Structure 1
Amino acid sequence: MALSPQTTDKVKERVDIEEVVNDYVSLKKKGQNLWACCPFHQEKTPSFSVSPAKQIYKCFGCGKAGDPIQFIMDIEGIGFTEAIRHLAQKYGIEVEEETSQDPVDIQAYNERESLFIAVNFAKEFFQQNLKTEEGQSIGLSYFKERGFDPVTIEKFDLGYALDSWDQLLVQAKKSGFEVENLLKAGLVLERENNKGNYYDRFRGRVVFPIHNLSGKPIAFGARILTQDKKQPKYINSPETAIYHKSDVLYGIYQAKKAIRQEENCYLVEGYTDVISMHMAGIENVVASSGTSLTASQIKLIKRFSDQVTVLYDGDDAGIKASLRGIDMLLEGGLNVKAVVFPPGEDPDSFARKSGKSGFQNFLKTEEKDFIHFKIDLFASEAANDPIKKAEAIRQVVLSISKIPDPIVRSVYAKESARLLAMEEDILLTELNRQILKQQQRPGGQAEEAPPVEQMLPTSPEEEKDKLQPKNIKEERELIRILINYGFEKVSEEMHVCEYLLEEIKELEFDTPVFQKLLLHYKKALLQGILPKFDYFLDTQDGELKKEVINMIAQSREISLNWEIKHQIFTKKESDDLSDTSYRISLKLKSAYLKKMRLEVQEKIKEASESELNELLPVYMEINQLKTKIDQELGNVIPSRN
């Protein structure tokens, strides 16, 4: 359900970037800004800057930038609306919903909210059960046996479902919950042979709450502790309006910050694997919640890291059965590594057995990229069997073919050919065959797919030049001057923006984001607004906002002591805005003339004699104008006659 504009406005007025960021990292003052090691990537020297004056943050290492709302979106991995709700709760701002919505949407929203409330009630009920005599003797004893300390139990909201048919149902009804909502939340079941008679879904089991990205409990997994072969070892919540198991990763709420910091995500199978790894000091770990890995779960991992390390139990048959997961991860654009535990061990048992340092060292030393992992997996059985060796090669090539980046694909193909001691051309032929097969259209015809070696760019510089307009630098600089100084005066009658816009009125920018910013600026002027940088930060266009922050953020500041104590004065672009504006307009014109000259040169190459007579005067005029501007800028030395 949408928030009212009043709620969004109140949050924007109340939030303070320093307070918001300080909840996640420790900021230290240096000059006018505050600095810290970036929470979005691993670094030792602080490059993450917060400007209280401008209410923005900018990392000069990884490029993350935004305002307080964008920071919450980035750090929590949530959308704009959820970020507003998060900040409203922090600052005690009442959340008002948009009342002009479709009644169906309002009903759906209210139902979702009621399910969140019901599941949270159940979570707290299961937690309280750990304090009961039954809960302590069975549930708490199990957690202690696993080595889970009180801090970890609280961190994951672990609990216990009493061995009773309706304890949760009775308590929930006493607290005002309707049975229908408990049923929709997956907390109770209706007896098949006795309609209208309900009982608890979870009974006599330890309970593992499953959280969404913002930390709300949305479902449960529950493990039985008795040797009852008639009952499954684990039961889980059913699909509900707030829980879709294919979209959820167990432990993602507790892990997301560590995944960003470590730039890697460990992927395991079970709940206890995740918790034991946290106990071993490794927090960047998630589990697929008892389901086969899905595309939605892979996208969720990629929101926080491009690197994933899959941890496998020491069981060859089980590993081969789950190899499809590696191909899906590769297809999702992730860099994949793998670790295999000794026979009979899993992350949970091995972490408890080897201790923190032993477990961490094992992960570092045993980690392999997916190519070495797959080759080693098939090596022993394929050693003396040519047919099996050929199949192993096909399996490796199949995985490589899933990689979307052609350069990475080519590098892995070359390395695989070396490791498998085979001709690279043969491997590339098979690789291209697999790619064509995957690109098969519904009608039966395949798209043209160039060989891997042909997909490589001639050089990084040439590839970059193809993607970027030639005058991107000058366009960016002019927009930067507009945003930083457009409201200042260049004379008593004229603002910087008036001068610059008049000078470039016949030009249209080639770079889409800068053209968009230019139109945004002109729109503000038409509305009678002389915009400053904060006007652009109010947009929900993430691309525009990031560009503006990049333009106003400073990676270095000149110490005030230089002028106050040492009388050392440095020239700033703001000291003479008339000259600054004049020179940037000339630079942009020079860039456009250069582009025009190149276009005319290309036409001259293909021109007939009559066309040539028309093009040469144009070329000469462009060249003269550019030379004149470059002389004014001091870029060329005029020849002496």
Structure 2
Amino acid sequence: PENEIYVKSKILYGLYFARSPIDKAKECLLVEGYTDVISLHQAGIENVVASGGTSLTTEQIRLIKKYTNNLTIIYDGDNAGVKAALRGLDMALEEGLNVKLVLIPDNEDPDSYVNKVGTTAFKDFVANNKKDFIIFQLGILLKDAGNDINQKNNVVNNIAETLSKINRTEDFTKLQEYIKQCASLLKIDEGGLTTLVNKYKRDSIAKEEKKLYSVGDFQTQEFPQQPTTNYTDSDTLLLHQDEAIEKNILKVLFEHGYKSWNNEQSIALYVINELSPYKFHNPLLAKIYAAFIQELNEGKQPDAKTFLYHTDEAIRNMIISITASPYELSPKWDEKLQGLNITNRDNSIQDAFMSVTFFKLRKIKKMFEENQQQLEIATTPEQQLQLMKDHLLFKEEESKITKALGTVILK
């Protein structure tokens, strides 16, 4: 019986003894029952494990993936065996496994068949009768559909959803070959199938996002809960205008850069390190920011006066604009800082933290918007796949920042 230590869905029977043989053969044979494993091991076929009569689980698939990417499933050839073999294999595709299927003939199972024909004949049968999982699945679905138009339409959708599980960039060529073969067997347009596969990919991403950003997820976080934020006009200005955000960063650097952020670095170094992955949108502000960093690298303590008498008139005017338009932190944002683990908090720490956070949120929001625009005009499945992965990365980064604040996700 199952207990806290033994959970059937998280283990593979025989894996301990099969690890080295799997690694050596560069292939894992998966059977259904324990007796199948024992009989095959006794016959000298040792790269074999059993799922314990359950559908393959994500945990079991990842155990296999530790030793090989090649999975061959050997099941009974009856209808029950076929259905059992097909269950859970979409997850194997998601994990990047190459899945083949071998069905034992004549109502045999691996145990009885290896005892009947012997080791060599069994190995030969497996080697010569491997069927590609996706193509085999499509054949079964088409056979069941017959001439029913509605059933055939369901087949197209089912196979497109299965193909959408092949989502790693390195599997792009494999996906294209599958689309080509499946479109031919379905007698449909290859481009149409590609479009449908990408639709299922987008739907899957949307579901993951919904799961990631659900209210329940926020309730499990360790930071203090905050009510939905009502942004003030000043907040909205900072969130939606690059120049305002970038000017505020420079203002913080000029006024507080020399002060201590913690025992290890100054506020200037904190800001520069946090913003290293991002670029300024305004070329003039970018130029001033780069000059500030250069001054700092030379061991100086730059401030607004450093640039106030610059030979470039545009820089002088911008410095005047930055210093003449103070930004006051919204009281609501001040309340949020109470729950953050920042010691010796004063206005300089507040200004630096909030300015950096607004800057990062705005840049990620902008990258997300640009990614969405590129996704709409992407012409190849490879481009679409990469853009959809970038989409998730941007949302995850946004989530990290907003969770640190205890705020809602920006819409």
Higher relative contact order (CA 8 A, sep 6+): 2
What TM-score do you get using the length of structure 2 for normalisation? Answer: 0.49
In terms of Rg, which structure is larger?
1
